[in-house]
Amino acid sequence: MRNSALAAFGLSLPQVQQALANGVEGKKPWRTFGIQLWTVRDVIGKDPKGVLAKLASYGYKQIESFEGPQGMFWGMKHTEFKKYMDDLGMQMVASHCNHLENFERKAAEAAEIGVKHLICPWKGAQKSIEQFKGFCDEFNKAGEICRKAGIRFAYHNHDYSFKELDGQIPQEVMMKGTDKNLVDFELDIYWAVAAGQDPKKWFMDYPGRIRLCHVKDRAKNEKGYESCILGKGSLDFADIFKTATKYGLETFIVEQEEYTGTTPLDAANLDALYLKSL
């Protein structure tokens, strides 16, 4: 009976054993997930190494930094930061930063320690679509600097880039107006949904352009723009990821903005537990 069942699926016993080891659908790419350090912005500045060690203990293997008062490397030299990441079994895969200031240096330092992406996190709502068209040239230039350093440049959205302006959608303008060889995108899934968008459609419409995402849930009984602990909100991440990974999504970054009833570190831990179980 067993052999007949295996034959029906065209599988040998060793193949089935391997499938069981990997998971029937293969290894889920989001099993290796990271966290945007903005999640712990209220505590990391006081004890960067201690907070990073906590995040590692929760199961985070990757981090996405941001450029705070202590810089992307939290008061450490980039090589010292890399050494500490190695000690924790973690990797800095990306960072949000100001790409209009000392960007060649930032790209060189990032490349030296294995960072894959430097990301523009914010441009803000604009008065005309022409301003977003101007960002395309700006992003292409930043992308060229990153290319020369051996890394990639990306743009991270909020809700404003999905709001129609002069009859056009700014996000579309930026994705169509930038060079795919130079500029990637990080889709903040929460902000896309908050703007009334279907995130899966963006992955399908722009295959290979969205390499990173922010994993952030949206409260079911939302008042304004309220985010919540992963798995407690309205977003079906398993469904979104299933589509997104088919169209080029590679990097999964948790970002928690609200801590109702908990602390930044406890929220980070709960988010990690959710992704482990997904």
pLDDT tens, 94-127?
A: 999 999 999 999 999 999 999 999 999 999 999 9
Q: Do the Cβ atoms of 144 and 182 come closer than 8 Å?
A: yes
264, 232, 96, 63: CA torsion to nearest 10: 70
The CATH T-level fold of domain 32-277 is TIM Barrel (3.20.20)
Q: Do the Cβ atoms of 227 and 219 come closer than 8 Å?
A: yes
Give, for 158, the enclosing helix (H) or strand (E). none
Q: What is the pLDDT of residue 220?
A: 80
Rg (Cα) of the chain, in Å, rounded? 20
Q: What is the pLDDT of residue 125?
A: 97
Give, for 186, the enclosing helix (H) or strand (E). strand 183-188
Is residue 266's pLDDT more than 70? yes
Q: Averaged over 227-249, what is the pLDDT?
A: 95
Give the tokens for residue 233: 């909100």
Q: Which residue is listed with tokens 């008042």? A: 223
Sign of the torsion angle spanned by Cα atoms 210, 253, 147, 161: positive
Q: Do the Cβ atoms of 212 and 181 come closer than 8 Å?
A: no
Q: What is the pLDDT of residues 46-55, one digit of tens each?
A: 999 999 999 9
Question: For residues 219 and 161, what is the distance between their CA atoms, to the nearest angstrom?
Answer: 21
* Residue 40, C-beta contacts closer than 8 angstroms, at least 6 positions apart: 51, 55, 264, 265, 268
Is residue 8's pLDDT more than 60? no
Global pTM value? 0.89
Q: What is the pLDDT of residue 31?
A: 83
Q: Averaged over 14-19, what is the pLDDT?
A: 37
- Residue 1 burial (10 A CB sphere; 0-12, 13-18, 19+): exposed
Question: For residues 267 and 278, what is the distance between their CA atoms, to the nearest angstrom?
Answer: 17
Q: What is the pLDDT of residue 28?
A: 82
Q: Do the Cβ atoms of 126 and 170 come closer than 8 Å?
A: yes
Q: Averaged over 253-260, what is the pLDDT?
A: 90
- Of the ranges 2-16, 29-43, 128-142, 220-234, the best mean pLDDT one: 128-142
Q: What DSSP line would sit under 21-83, residue for residue?
A: HH-TT---GGGS-EEEGGGGTTTTTT-HHHHHHHHHHHT--EEEE--BTTBTTTTS-HHHHHH
Question: For residues 203 and 31, what is the distance between their CA atoms, to the nearest angstrom?
Answer: 20
Q: Averaged over 230-252, what is the pLDDT?
A: 96
- The residues with which 120 forms a beta bridge, in sequence order, are 155
Question: For residues 164 and 129, what is the distance between their CA atoms, to the nearest angstrom?
Answer: 9
Ranges of each domain in the chain: 1-25, 32-277
